[in-house]
Amino acid sequence: MSAHTTVFERATPSPAAVEHALAGTVARSFWIDDIQDRRSAHPALAGDAEADLVVVGGGYTGLWTALRAVEREPGLRVVLLEAEAVGWAASGRNGGFCEASLTHGEENGTSRWPDEMETLTRLGVENLDAIEETVARYGMDCDFERTGLLAVAVEPHQVGWLSGADAADGSDVFLDRDAVRAELASPTYLAGRWDRRTNAIVHPAKLAAELARVAAEHGVELREHTAVRRIDDAGDRVEVVTDHGTVRAPRVALATNVFPSLLKRNRLMTVPVYDYVLMTEPLSAAQLDEIGWRNRQGVSDLANQFHYYRLSADDRILFGGYDAIYHAGGKVMPEYEDRRSTFETLANHFLATFPQLEGLRFTHRWSGAIDASTRFCAFYGLARRGKVAYAAGFTGLGVGAARFAADVMLDRLAGLDTERTSLAMVEDRPWPFPPEPAASIGINLTRWSLDRADHREGRRNLLLKTLDALGLGFDS
């Protein structure tokens, strides 16, 4: 069968409408902008120090690790070191989808760890439940809403992918065209599946700020603008060397994710892939009535190059995804963040999805680097004779999985044999990415192949089938 157009090519808004929507946007994360008047600053490290645990990285993984450590061992001296400001990178730039999945979706998990999938699903839901309980227990003001995820088919071949039995309790249900459009009125929708249980939406920067607040209240020493240069063995301890001094501790947790690993063994285990996002101005009551969305679900379509979107607490629409850009050399650089062609594409697709909202403007445009791994979910490990633990490679689903990763690292540093640490998913290491230039060639060929599959009714070419057979992901 020959290639066909997608719905976003069949229903395109006018260039003038796209230009109007993007006029006046600022190149900053809305989430980070939104908390500037409430964010607490933390001092840099001032000279050498001692600690029971050093956490490197002030995003979700590092913050959850620090908080969970002092919850598990009250009185523990924990020092968290962050090169910039807490929550400034992916944790302040993501879409705010807090999903239960630890494996980047059921299909990805089942293809890799079929015997563990029931356990992994349960542990993922328990982890999300624990996040919700923590938010309530500490009164964390982070706009946490357990609204579920609405997966939508926007091409005929995708409708069958939503098949399956509905949950007896109504927590996971198939929606035909009329039913899904009653939830959210888009002419692109052909069917949907609403899973009410396994996703929440949250204000990402508020979550990071609140985790920092609670951790500090529990005695964690947060040190911003303190870049770690290396970690050295020092007998039964580790020396964490920074620009402002050295912290000595018997245990270290590395939560640097997309940034270059402090461990040589992990330098090729992740690559930075840039994801792009737009945020609208607040919708009026009339505009909200036009589209419905009374149940405020997070939404994602089913294409390989998929879009995700959700409402903020003040009824803005965040709209992101589709383009996932890897830059040769694998560096994280500010100049990669503002990509006009991608923002124009997103605005075009937004107006194709919601033509009734033509005239609405975007206020913010931004991007962030995702720590992609070849298995599409986090990997874990120990180094330096068990004194250093790490977790990285969340591939875009770290908002929820970061808490699980924190407990895995703390279990391993304590030498505990738990249900988490005995999982093959935790014990396995993914394939590394090849060095340049092979990485650029392979990643860009794969991206081209995924786009081609979207234009061929989902049919995957030889490259994608080979990668699937090798267990290299690219099926989410």
Q: pLDDT tens digits, residue range 372-399?
A: 999 999 999 999 999 999 999 999 999 9
Helices and strands in the chain: count of H runs, count of E runs: 14, 20
**AA letter at 162:** L
Read off the amino acid at residue 305.
Q
In a domain, 144, yes or no: no
Residue 153 three-state SS: strand
What's the rounded Cα separation, in Å, for the pair 126 and 137? 16
pLDDT digits (tens, 9 = 90+) for 119-132: 999 999 999 999 99
Please list the helix, strand and coil fractions of the chain in percent, rounded to the nearest 5, in that order: 35, 25, 40
**What is the token pair recorded at 413?**
């540093």
Q: What dihedral do alpha carbons 111, 419, 94, 113 form, nearest 10°?
A: 0
User: 325 lies in which domain range?
Assistant: 7-31+149-197+274-369
In total, how many domains does the chain have?
Answer: 3
Alpha carbon distance 319, 305 (integer Å): 13
Same domain, 11 and 81: no
Judgement on whether residues 123 and 214 belong to the same structural domain of the protein:
yes
Same domain, 334 and 456: no
For the chain, what is the mean pLDDT?
Answer: 95
Residue 220 tokens, joined: 């964690």
Whole-angstrom distance, CA of residue 461 vs CA of residue 449: 7
Res 140 pLDDT > 80:
yes
pLDDT of residue 233: 94
**Contacts (Cβ under 8 Å, ≥6 apart) of 465:** none
CA 219 to chain centre: 28
CA proximity to 202, closest of 404, 399, 405: 399
Strand 245-249 relative to strand 49-50, pairing: parallel
Q: Considering the entire predicted model, what is its pTM?
A: 0.95
Residue 81 · residue 55 · CB < 8 Å: yes
φ and ψ of 81, to 5 deg: -110, 125
**Cα 56 to Cα 256: distance, rounded to the nearest angstrom:** 7
Other C-beta atoms lying within 10 Å of the C-beta of residue 126 = 12
Model pLDDT for residues 205-238, shown as the tens digit of each residue: 999 999 999 999 999 999 999 999 999 999 999 9
C-alpha–C-alpha distance, residues 96 and 444, integer Å: 27
Q: 219 in a domain, yes or no? A: yes
Note the pLDDT tens digit of each residue in 339-373: 999 999 999 999 999 999 999 999 999 999 999 99
Residues 326, 423, single domain; the answer is no
The pLDDT-based confidence of 473 (bands split at 50, 70, 90) is low
- In a domain? residue 43: no
Whole-angstrom distance, CA of residue 217 vs CA of residue 204: 20
Among candidates 266, 302, 244, 466, which has minimal Cα distance to 383? Answer: 266
Q: Decide if 174 is inside a domain.
A: yes
Residue 133 lies in a domain: no
Instruction: Please indicate whether residue 467 or residue 313 has the higher confidence score (pLDDT).
Output: 313
Report the CATH number at residue 322. 3.30.9.10
3-class DSSP assignment, residue 13 = coil
Supply the pLDDT for residue 462.
86
Dihedral through CA 151, CA 153, CA 154, CA 158, nearest 10? 140
- Tokens 């590395």, located at residue: 254
The share of the chain scoring above pLDDT 70, in percent, equals 98
Please check whether residue 109 lies inside any domain of the structure: yes
Are 99 and 214 part of one and the same domain? yes
Q: What are the residue ranges of helices labelled H in 51-168? A: 60-72, 106-112, 117-137
Q: What is the DSSP letter of 145?
A: B
User: What is the residue-wise DSSP string for 385-409?
Assistant: TTTEEEEE--TT-HHHHHHHHHHHH
Partnered with residue 393 across adjacent β-strands are: none
- Are 162 and 55 within one domain? no
Quick check: bond before 437 cis, omega within 30?
A: yes
pLDDT score for 38: 83
- For residues 287 and 392, membership in a common domain is answered with no
Q: Are strands 388-392 and 251-254 parallel, antiparallel or unpaired?
A: parallel
**Looking at the structure, do residues 313 and 386 belong to the same domain, yes or no?**
no
Is 475 inside any structural domain? no
Torsion, CA 22, CA 26, CA 32, CA 35, rounded to 10? -100
Pair of tokens at residue 279? 């945020």
**Mean of the pLDDT values across residues 148-170?**
95
Closest CA to 473 of 419, 431, 416: 431
Residue 476: pLDDT band with limits 50, 70, 90 = very low
Query: What integer is the mean pLDDT of 9-23?
Result: 94
Distances (CA, A) of 214 to 68, 352, 407: 11, 42, 17
How many C-beta atoms lie closer than 10 Å to residue 375's C-beta?
Answer: 25
Q: Residues 170, 297: one domain? A: yes
Last residue in a domain, options 369, 400, 417: 369
| Among candidate residues 442, 451, 464, the one with its CA nearest the CA of residue 323 | 451
Report how far residue 70's alpha carbon sits from residue 89's, in angstroms, rounded to the nearest whole number.
Answer: 24
- Cβ(258)–Cβ(109) below 8 Å: no
Range 239-262 average pLDDT: 96
Could you tell me if 66 and 162 lie in one domain?
A: no
Phi, psi of 194 (to 5 degrees): -105, 110
Tell me what pLDDT residue 173 has: 97
pLDDT in tens, 176-209: 999 999 999 999 999 999 999 999 999 999 999 9
CATH (domain of 110): 3.50.50.60
Whole-number CA gyration radius for the chain: 22
Same domain, 365 and 281: yes
Question: Both 83 and 188 in a single domain?
Answer: no
Domain end marker among 369, 384, 408: 369
| Domain-located, residue 238 | yes
| Sheet bearing 317-326, strands edge to edge | 172-175, 191-195, 149-153, 298-301, 307-311, 317-326, 271-280, 362-372
